[in-house]
Chain A
């Protein structure tokens, strides 16, 4: 069965500091991997995705993530945090041989200190 683990339910950084949100996945087949962001009282917005090809993927708002098969990881990074980045971030995996339903991690709430 597929699963996603997000280390750290809360991450706090200072404005301008590096953002690192961790995601590890488990999948018996090549996965598609996604990061979504959820701002308060809003829906989920796709930040970036990995399907095939280049393992370093760039997304919106300056975020990027690197697919590391050997480590089964897909960590999300941003060089410099902005106050507007404060939100909850979800890593998700989907199998490429099924209905493509998303399996989500438990989420990481990012707090940005001024």
Chain B
């Protein structure tokens, strides 16, 4: 158990809809990373938050946004969903200064 929690585990929705994915990092970790795993793109970094502020951005679509709240949990918002957004979405939080990242179980999003 990595200590990183994600909800929901599965999400099925229709094109054009909006969903919110939730992540709680390990206790005491200030940083949250979001990754997308899809058949087309593989595993790619989306965005990082540190103590409530955006720290780095990767290949994140404009339709996607994220935030980190004072209690350090993070939400990834995906809007105007397309079939190609179907993927596994992981969040991760780092341990110690070498930043080995520990991953949550993921949310599997299916857009129909």
Does the CB pair B90–A44 fall under 8 Å?
A: yes
- Minimum CB distance partner of B9 in chain A: A41
Chain A 82-108 residues near chain B, CB threshold 8 A: 90, 94, 98-107
Does the CB pair A94–B105 fall under 8 Å?
A: no
Tell me the bound Cα distance from A96 to B92 in angstroms.
18
Does the CB pair B105–A46 fall under 8 Å?
A: no
Does the CB pair B105–A102 fall under 8 Å?
A: no
The total of interchain contacts (Cβ-Cβ below 8 angstroms) comes to 51
- What 1/0 flags go to A62-98 for Cβ under 8 Å of B? 0000000000000000000000000000100010001
A contact residues, total (Cβ < 8 Å): 22
What is the predominant secondary structure among interface residues of chain B facing chain A?
A: strand
Tell me the bound Cα distance from A106 to B40 in angstroms.
10
- Which chain B residues have a beta carbon within 8 Å of chain A's beta carbons? 2, 33, 35, 42-45, 48, 55-56, 58, 90, 92, 94, 98-106
Instruction: Check if A43 is an interface residue, CB within 8 A of chain B.
Output: yes
Known: A42-B105, A43-B106. 12 other contacts (CB 8 A): A43-B2, A43-B103, A43-B105, A44-B43, A46-B101, A51-B98, A98-B56, A99-B48, A101-B33, A101-B48, A102-B35, A106-B42
A65 to chain B, nearest CB (A): 14
